[in-house]
Amino acid sequence: MKALIPLMLCMLTVGAGFADTTVDASNPYAYGANIGWINARGDIASGAVFGQSYCTGYLYSANCGWISLGNGPTNGWRYSNTAADDWGVNHDGTGSLTGFAYGANIGWIAFEQTYGQPRVDLLTGNLSGYVWGANVGWISLSNAQAYVQTTRLDSGPDSDADGIPDFWEMKQVGDLATLSGAGHDEDDDGASDTDEYSSDTDPTDINSSLEITALERLDGTNLVTWSIEPTRFYKLEHASSASNNADWGDSGHGIMSPELADEMTRELADSAQTSQFFRARAIVPLSP
């Protein structure tokens, strides 16, 4: 039995480090023609962490060493990339990656949207596009042989443990005290602060929340329209009783990407029920 103890401790250590990077174990590789393969899982414990709003952690190149994605933004939600101590790679929530990574041996690596257009596919977590360094040239995040995939988009810390990530509180109101847990509704619009995070609506604007904005019934068909945000996916559900949670079922449309508009509409066949209820649900992408 004694011999087992060191083994178990060892496994725990590895397990704890494993959770840190968000990069998929099977798909961690970027490639630069001038510098070869780059592993986005780094040494696992400090590998790349792709977030809902910003990135942290390290990539590792056998030829060039460590490349940092940043150590967390000064304002808690977005690197300014204008100060010596506040640089890194940002995520705009719709998949676009911008800003700078840095390697001690190779200098700055630009994540820019004009030519390289590096991005995360919010459905699959697959990265695409290119990043660029003056000293190393283009690095592809996906190519015929390999790609980088993130299994989730990290929400970062929730220091006050109210269910709303720090980055979102800092982005919306600039502090961690104004917004709080599920029971609190800062702008009195009927959507709790927690629900406004889930739908990425403005928790200080009474006119901003996830809602069904139109319902039209035509010849056995219902047209349901609801408000959307570019950073969220949606599910449309229906039920014959609004009070029975078990009754809610998917409309058949499954998980939907947001359209390039303020609202979107889907058609649902009429059910045989006397009453029908509809609801739209927002889903935070890659946030299991």
- In the complex, least distance from residue 235 CB atom to Ca ion, rounded to whole angstroms: 20
Is residue 172 a contact point for Ca ion (CB under 5 A)? no
- In the complex, least distance from residue 208 CB atom to Ca ion, rounded to whole angstroms: 4
Is residue 208 a contact point for Ca ion (CB under 5 A)? yes
CA dihedral sign of residues 42, 44, 47, 52 = positive
Is residue 229 a contact point for Ca ion (CB under 5 A)? no
- In the complex, least distance from residue 227 CB atom to Ca ion, rounded to whole angstroms: 11
- In the complex, least distance from residue 231 CB atom to Ca ion, rounded to whole angstroms: 15
Is residue 158 a contact point for Ca ion (CB under 5 A)? yes
Taking Cα atoms as reference points, which of 65, 64, 84 lies closest to residue 74?
A: 84
Is residue 52 a contact point for Ca ion (CB under 5 A)? no
Is residue 160 a contact point for Ca ion (CB under 5 A)? yes
Our CB check for Ca ion shows the closer of 191 and 264 to be: 191
Phi, psi of 142 (to 5 degrees): -150, 145
Among 164, 228, 264, 284, binds Ca ion (CB under 5 A): 164
What's the burial of 149, exposed, middle or buried (CB within 10 Å: 0-12/13-18/19+)? buried
SS3 content of the chain, % helix, strand, coil (to 5): 10, 35, 50
Q: Which amino acid is at 266?
A: R
Question: How big is the site for Ca ion, counted in residues (CB under 5 A)?
Answer: 11
Phi, psi of 99 (to 5 degrees): 110, -155
Among 20, 154, 189, 200, binds Ca ion (CB under 5 A): 189
How far is the C-alpha of 125 from the C-alpha of 261, rounded, in Å?
A: 23
Residue numbers at the binding site for Ca ion (CB under 5 A): 158, 160, 162, 164, 185, 187, 189, 191, 205, 208-209
